[in-house]
Amino acid sequence: MFLLLLHVVASALLCDGASGPSPTTPFDQYGAILWEHEKARLDNFAIQLQNEENLIGYILVFDRTGGCAGEAKARSMRAKRYVVEHRGIPWNRVIWRREGYDSSINTTLLLAPRGAIVPFPYRSPAVVASDGPATRACIAKLGRIKRSRW
């Protein structure tokens, strides 16, 4: 009888979501990579979300200190659109969030069980910084990001 009770309790704990990914361990991280390479990484992210219905996907982005204003936001919105529109993940299971500034543009893909608390900022204290000037090169880069298709 005791063994049966022990088995039931252990099974309940495993089904409780405790065995899912930890919101402190990133699924993937990358910098300013080519869109074709990013899509491959987002495909893997979407496959994991399709296989685990209890998970929420987070796209956490860091702008580059002195970089193009709005680049991280544009990249994260493009990534979410791709995962939702192209890969068919429900919109409410993918969350994008701008985390602040870093020495280079950085994207972190994170999987967390529903209801898990994802700290803000995700890693290390926020860096006080600012965007660079809105140059022609920045405007062109943002336009390319926004026009990206699959």
- Name the nearest CA neighbour of 108 among 13, 8, 10, 41: 41
- Long-range Cβ pairs for the range 36-41 (8 Å, 24+): 38/79, 38/107, 39/82, 39/150, 41/109
pLDDT of residue 148: 85
- Is residue 60 scored above 50 in pLDDT? yes
CA distance 105 to 99: 11
How many domains does the structure of the chain reveal? 1
Average pLDDT over residues 9-38: 69
Question: Residue 48's domain is classified under what CATH number?
Answer: 3.30.1330
The half-sphere exposure of 93 on its side-chain side, counting CA atoms within 13 A, is 21
pLDDT of residue 35: 94
Domain containing residue 71: 20-147
* Bridging pattern class, strands 55-64 and 94-102: parallel
Helix (H) or strand (E) holding 50: helix 35-51
- Name the nearest CA neighbour of 73 among 62, 84, 58: 62
pLDDT of residue 8: 37
Is residue 38 situated within a structural domain? yes
More confident residue, 3 or 125: 125
Is residue 12 situated within a structural domain? no
Count of beta carbons in the 10 Å neighbourhood of residue 139 = 12
